[in-house]
Amino acid sequence: MGDDSTYDVAVIGAGVFGAWTAYQLERSSKRVILIDAYGSGNSRSSSGDESRIIRMGYGADEIYTRSALRSLQLWQELFTRVDQPLFHQTGVLWLAQKGDPYPVKTAETLRKLDVPFDSLTVAEIRRRYPQIGLERISWALLEPESGVLMARRAVQTVTREAIRNGVEYFQDAVKTPEGSGSLNEITTAGGRRISAGNYVFACGPWLPKVFPDLLADRIQTTRQEVFYFGAPAGNRSFLATELPTWIDFKDEAYGLPDLEGRGVKIAIDRHGPAFDPDAGNRVVSDEGLTEARQCLARRLPALKYAPVIEARVCQYENTANGDFLIDRHPRFDNVWLVGGGSGHGFKHGPVVGEYVATRIAGNNEEIEPRFSLESKASEQKRAVF
Ligand SMILES: Cc1cc2nc3c(=O)[nH]c(=O)nc-3n(C[C@H](O)[C@H](O)[C@H](O)COP(=O)(O)OP(=O)(O)OC[C@H]3O[C@@H](n4cnc5c(N)ncnc54)[C@H](O)[C@@H]3O)c2cc1C
């Protein structure tokens, strides 16, 4: 099938970065086509899980705190407009271990940017949240206005709204572009050819597969397991009214309360082994479950033997230090690479979309050095969480 249509921008990938980019481009009056290989918010995509945390705390990384603040506002505006309650204001509780500088730096940044938070002593945490185990915890920082985005439905909502506003959308896999200079067209596995002024490749964990020579060493795709546990019938202690989302930063674990009856979510934030997003095995491992149970026993001891009611294997797409990649392809002046969410990108979708749309509009906006391709090393040294 051929296609004669010409677009201002073709966005490849309708995960959270691509969907918001298409949405924001359309709002700036661009003619946009959005293409996804498996469908927006599909189960293989990094955006396709049930839920994602949106928190303002980022240690000393003010750039991400500012972005999270603006993004929360834009998410909420969208959800209000479409009348979908896809943000749960659970609060986010950082459980801080003695001598850990990250929560201390987070508090300094939040104070500087006037983001509301509470510092809680161990006695205060115990009084408010008796269901949380406090082994090795010496204080906590509570972000009362932060919470959880219902990820898959949220990203599908962005795509649906983009389409409703005029973005054209279809499902197909775009092939690796060839040549150099100004890219004239892209082709799909289904045989379609699409011509656009600019092309945005927002392919998440697939970016290293689409651009292997450029990104195979710069974005590492890792296997991450997620478990949902069921609380006993009638026990309300693990609902969002009683339990906040919590982050055990030092022990690389986090948990979400039982939202919409899906169960109490637990995951380990440490990078797993290399993973193929198309064909990788998405059945969770016994070792993963053992570690999740150890975490439960430590932090939510009443759920130590709770049944797993759902489990997922997802993947991170990690740059060396965790900074996003948003830059032009060095061989094509009209191709953008947008990804490297590195296990924390979901919340920032609205701002990433704005950032890309502004640069494509050509207002001579600078590239943030931290998002540049040049800054992306091949050796993993995580610094942004
Ligand atoms: C377990 C886990 C927990 C996380 N927790 C959080 C959290 O609490 N808070 C947070 O903010 N972030 C979190 N993240 C990170 C966040 O989910 C990701 O950074 C974000 O979803 C990445 O979005 P994306 O659009 O870049 O990629 P994706 O969502 O993977 O989207 C890429 C899309 O591109 C499509 N595609 C790929 N190749 C092609 C092609 N050739 N042609 C057409 N389409 C193509 C795919 O089908 C896919 O839909 C977590 C991630 C994981 C895995």
> What are the Cα distances from residue 82, in Å, to 24, 28, 183, 352?
16, 20, 36, 21
- Give pLDDT tens digits for 48-64: 999 999 999 999 999 99
Ligand 1 center to residue 352 CA distance, Å? 13
Same domain, 268 and 210: no
Q: pLDDT at residue 3 above 80?
A: no
Q: H or E element: which one contains 179?
A: none
Ligand 1 center to residue 241 CA distance, Å? 29
Same domain, 277 and 265: yes
- Give pLDDT tens digits for 290-338: 999 999 999 999 999 999 999 999 999 999 999 999 999 999 999 999 9
Q: Is residue 64 part of a domain?
A: no
Ligand 1 center to residue 220 CA distance, Å? 13
Higher pLDDT, 144 or 3: 144
Residue 365 pLDDT class (50, 70, 90 cuts) = confident
- Give pLDDT tens digits for 216-246: 999 999 999 999 999 999 999 999 999 999 9
**Contact call for residues 163 and 170 (beta carbons, < 8 A):** no
Q: Is residue 208 part of a domain?
A: yes
Q: Is residue 310 part of a domain?
A: yes
Mutation pick for ligand 1 pocket among 34, 52, 284, 324 (CB with most ligand atoms within 8 Å) = 52
Per-residue DSSP letters for 340-363? Answer: --TTT-GGGHHHHHHHHHHHHTTS
Mean pLDDT, rounded, for 28-37: 97
Q: Is residue 325 part of a domain?
A: yes
- Give pLDDT tens digits for 243-288: 999 999 999 999 999 999 999 999 999 999 999 999 999 999 999 9
Same domain, 114 and 226: yes
Same domain, 183 and 271: no
Same domain, 103 and 127: yes
Q: Is residue 54 part of a domain?
A: no
Mean pLDDT, rounded, for 18-25: 98
Same domain, 135 and 226: yes
Task: Specify the CATH number for the domain of residue 364.
Answer: 3.50.50.60
Q: Is residue 60 part of a domain?
A: no
- Considering only CA atoms, which residue is closest to atom 21 of ligand 1? 47
Same domain, 307 and 224: yes
Q: pLDDT at residue 1 above 80?
A: no
**How far, in Å, CA of 298 to CA of 87, rounded?**
28
Same domain, 305 and 225: yes
Q: Which residue range is the domain that position 25 belongs to? A: 6-47+152-219+321-371
Task: Specify the CATH number for the domain of residue 272.
Answer: 3.30.9.10
Residue 5 pLDDT class (50, 70, 90 cuts) = low
Same domain, 227 and 261: yes
Ligand 1 center to residue 212 CA distance, Å? 18
> Considering 283, 316, 349, which residue would you say is the last residue of a domain?
316
Q: What is the dihedral of CA 237, 313, 371, 24, to 10 degrees?
A: -80
- Give pLDDT tens digits for 109-127: 999 999 999 999 999 999 9
Instruction: Give the other-Cβ count within 10 Å of 359's Cβ.
Output: 19
Give residues (CB < 6 A) around ligand 1.
12-18, 35-38, 42, 45-47, 52-53, 173-174, 202-206, 210, 224, 226, 267, 314-316, 339, 341, 343-347
Per-residue DSSP letters for 1-70? Answer: -----EEEEEEE--SHHHHHHHHHHHHTT--EEEEESS-TT-TTSTT-SS-EEE---BTB-HHHHHHHHH
The number of folded domains in the chain is 2
- Give pLDDT tens digits for 125-146: 999 999 999 999 999 999 999 9
**How far, in Å, CA of 380 to CA of 193, rounded?**
37
- Considering only CA atoms, which residue is closest to atom 31 of ligand 1? 15
> Considering 296, 316, 336, which residue would you say is the last residue of a domain?
316
pLDDT at position 2 is 43
Ligand 1 center to residue 45 CA distance, Å? 5
For the chain, what is the radius of gyration of the CA atoms? 21
> Considering 316, 331, 353, which residue would you say is the last residue of a domain?
316
Same domain, 26 and 156: yes
Q: Is residue 113 part of a domain?
A: yes
- Ligand 1 atom nearest the C-alpha of 317 is 19
Q: Is residue 57 part of a domain?
A: no
Same domain, 167 and 290: no
Ligand 1 center to residue 16 CA distance, Å? 7
Ligand 1 center to residue 385 CA distance, Å? 16
* Pair of tokens at residue 90: 């659970």
Same domain, 238 and 359: no
- Considering only CA atoms, which residue is closest to atom 24 of ligand 1? 204
pLDDT at position 362 is 82
